[in-house]
Homo-oligomer: A and B are copies of this chain.
Amino acid sequence: MTPDKPTTIKEIAKILKISVSTVSRALNDHSSIGLTTKMRVKKLAAELNYEPNQKAIQFLHGKSFVIGVILPELSESFFSAAISGIEDIAYKRNYTVLLAQSHDDAEKEKLLVAKMRTQRVDGLLVSVSKTTSTFEHFEIFKKLNIPVVFFDRIPPIKDIHYVSSNLETGTFDAVNFLLKKGHRTIGMINGPATLVASHERKEGYIKAMIANRLKFDPSLLIGCDLSEESTIEAMDTLLNHRRKPTAIVTFNDYVALFAMRYAKSLGLQDIDFVSYANLPIINYMDYTPIASVEQFPYKQGKKAADILIDLINKPRNESGAEQAYFNVVVESELILAGHK
């Protein structure tokens, strides 16, 4: 019979014949309201199923309690795990999450950034698209003093907050693990040289070799564009190397899959593979890497969201002067197969 508009504070005031301000204060347990009045107000509010109109409140103090999240692809398990972390923190701290995928399209990303601004989000969490090469679209947020935190895929510009994983230590551990296992010739199928991620892997590899007093042979590191063809090419190079590797570290699980399948098709069963954990599906495979480097996307998401919300609630940059930038690196970690 009365399925219409939500109850407002005004109606409560009218029914109880008191002023709106009294109702407001009563509901917020203000000290200057008498106990009896408080009770009466609360009782009626409960009966009428009163819920404060968040839109009005948000409008009033110019806060939306919404954080925007822009990431490339939810179907990549790294990101779907990350968003879970972001969400958990956001809900815990009473924020909600406005989500959007760029699908690795720079133009779409720009549009989404604009939309987020229009929606007046309190802060923005971004993992930039692969194709993004300019970054002016984020400037507006800086101008408006709305915090932006980048995670995982961070743009190569200064003065930004970010959370990323350092794959160097994980790679170090991986190579070290293989060396301890007796391997002496370890190949690596790395990603494109343009990615920071490739660089970090390379550094980890080199440092592990040095730490074990072994010579670093650059010809055992082959780059690839992550496609199957490119992976097979890299495998050919490695398998025809004068020092044929007995173990191979691959850029990610897809590359590992391609490489292992190719090796198997050649009848090679004795190569140990180590990869980077992006896919839970790896658990279901016939042949799996013997170890993988975990990047903790859930943890990264949590951390990034925490930093963002901290920034939102930070007293506005007082002197307008230099601001501290959060640069958090989540260490990666080697996980042996069969261990959760």
Q: Which of B58, B91, B145, B254 contacts A115 (CB 8 A)?
A: B91
Residues of B within 8 A of A281 (CB): 279, 281
B-contact bits for A277-313, CB 8 A (1 contact / 0 none): 0011100111000000000000000000000000000
Q: How many copies does the complex hold?
A: 2
How many whole Å from A61's CB to the nearest CB in chain B?
10
Within the complex, what minimum Cβ distance (angstroms) separates A312 from chain B? 15
Inter-chain contacts of A258 with B (CB < 8 A): 284
Contact between chains at B84 and A74 (CB < 8 Å):
yes
With A54-B118, A75-B77, A118-B54: A3-B98 Cβ-Cβ less than 8 Å: no
- Which chain B positions have C-beta within 8 A of A120? 53-55
Q: A56–B59 contact, CB under 8 A? A: yes
Contact B145 A4 (CB under 8 A): yes
Rounded to whole angstroms, the CA-CA distance of A285 and B257 in the bound complex is: 8
A49, A101, A145: residue with the most chain B Cβ atoms closer than 10 Å = A101
At the interface, yes or no: A24 with Cβ under 8 Å from chain B?
no
Distance between A201 CB and nearest chain B CB, rounded to angstroms: 21
For A34, the chain B residues whose CB sits under 8 A away are: none
- Alpha-carbon distance between A119 and B75 when the two chains are bound, in angstroms: 27
What band does the interface of chain A fall in when counting residues whose beta carbon is under 8 Å from B?
A: 35 or more
Which of A49, A55, A140, A144 has the most chain B CB atoms closer than 10 A to its own CB? A55
With A53-B120, A55-B62, A144-B3 in contact, is A87–B100 under 8 Å at CB? Answer: yes
Is there contact, CB below 8 Å, between A51 and B117?
yes
Interface centre among A3, A62, A281 (most CB of B within 10 A): A281
Q: Name the B residues within 8 Å of A62 (CB-CB).
A: 55
Q: State whether A87 and B115 are in contact (beta carbons under 8 Å apart), knowing that A55-B120, A59-B55 are contacts in the complex.
A: no
